[in-house]
Amino acid sequence: MVEWTDFERATIQDVFSKINYDVVGPQALARCLIVYPWTQRYFGNFGNLYNAAAIMGNPMVAAHGKTVLGGLDRAVKNMDDIKGTYAELSVLHSEKLHVDPDNFRLLADCLTIVVAAQMGAGFTPAVQAAFQKFIAVAVSALGRQYH
Amino acid sequence: MSLTAKDKAFVKAFWGKISGQADAIGQEALGRMLIVYPQTKIYFSGWTDFSLDSPQVKKHGKTVMSAITDAVGKMDDLIGGMSSLSDLHATKFRIDPVNFKILSHNILVTLAVHFPTDFTAEVHVAVDKFLAAVSAALADKYR
């Protein structure tokens, strides 16, 4: 089981209460598709992903970005059993969606950048450390059921 | 993943915007790395203060960022242009190249914190590619 300090618990609740899921989700996913274009392989039916502007304005990307943040929210609310919370999601990503788990790391990096931009100076090194630890646990849980 | 003309243009333009704060960015990126990835402290075993405003972090952050700024002007031949720095890292410092990726990530985070509007997705991908190319040039002489 993951050990969380009081500071880490408080920081994760605080960060996720401050960010707007409807903005951060879409921005993080769009950034991932732009910065790591091979991730577009999973979104063949999303229509126009031809350039950065098209990706940023694509409504299906935006909708899916919100879905992803909704999924993260479940981990925020169940920090003591993220592995269990994500068991079904992990199976889904492995067996149905066939997503290379390294892509979770790429999306996590983009999410970190977007949250850093949103929070500015409030994204101190200590907050960054707690945030990245939480995201790493979520990423690990999402890859757990792959075989 | 080689640097296109478009990448180089984005990097040069963005560096023009941030050059006045390059030293501070270097300091903060290094400071973040030492705090968020504590294993990186092993390369600075003689240091006494790993905090963000430590004089040691400030000085070394400036050294590293100056070399990176220098590399902006050498994008047409990074391997040639960084050859002596690569020798130094290969034979004297022997920093495991995985750490170049870690520092690069913390530079990106620092840029996002201080330039949220300028650090667009297109700038992000260009700078990410640039830092990866710099890292590869730095590791070029390793073996």
Q: Is A31 in the B-facing interface, judged by CB distances under 8 Å?
A: yes
Residues of chain B in contact with residue A129, where contact means CB-CB under 8 angstroms, are: 35-36
Task: Find out whether B52 and A125 touch, Cβ atoms under 8 Å.
Answer: yes
Task: Find out whether A70 and A21 touch, Cβ atoms under 8 Å.
Answer: yes
Cα(B86)–Cα(B136) distance, integer angstroms = 9
From the list B36, B114, B119, the residue facing A128 with the nearest CB is: B36
For B51, name the nearest residue in chain A, comparing CA atoms only: A125
From the list B36, B114, B125, the residue facing A129 with the nearest CB is: B36
Query: A128, B32: Cβ pair inside 8 Å?
Result: yes
B87: its two tokens = 């020798």
Residues of chain A in contact with residue B119, where contact means CB-CB under 8 angstroms, are: 113, 117
Q: With CA atoms as reference, report the closest residue to A57 among B12, B121, B34.
A: B121
Task: Report B:61-90 residues touching A (Cβ under 8 A).
Answer: none
**pLDDT of B42 over the 90 cut:** yes
Cα(B6)–Cα(B24) distance, integer angstroms = 27
Tens digit of each residue's pLDDT, chain A (147 residues): 899 999 999 999 999 999 999 999 999 999 999 999 999 999 999 999 999 999 999 999 999 999 999 999 999 999 999 999 999 999 999 999 999 999 999 999 999 999 999 999 999 999 999 999 999 999 999 999 998
How far from each other are the two terminal CA atoms of chain A, in whole angstroms? Answer: 21
How far does A27 lie from chain B, in Å, by closest CA? 9
Q: What is the pLDDT of residues B48-90, one digit of tens each?
A: 999 999 999 999 999 999 999 999 999 999 999 999 999 999 9
Q: With CA atoms as reference, report the closest residue to A5 among A113, A145, A133, A147.
A: A133
Task: Report B:1-60 residues touching A (Cβ under 8 A).
Answer: 31-32, 35-36, 52
pLDDT confidence of residue A147: 87
Query: A34, B113: Cβ pair inside 8 Å?
Result: no
From the list A56, A112, A123, the residue facing B121 with the nearest CB is: A56
Q: Is A10 in the B-facing interface, judged by CB distances under 8 Å?
A: no
Q: What is the pLDDT of residues B12-40, one digit of tens each?
A: 999 999 999 999 999 999 999 999 999 99
ipTM of the complex: 0.93
Reported pTM:
0.95
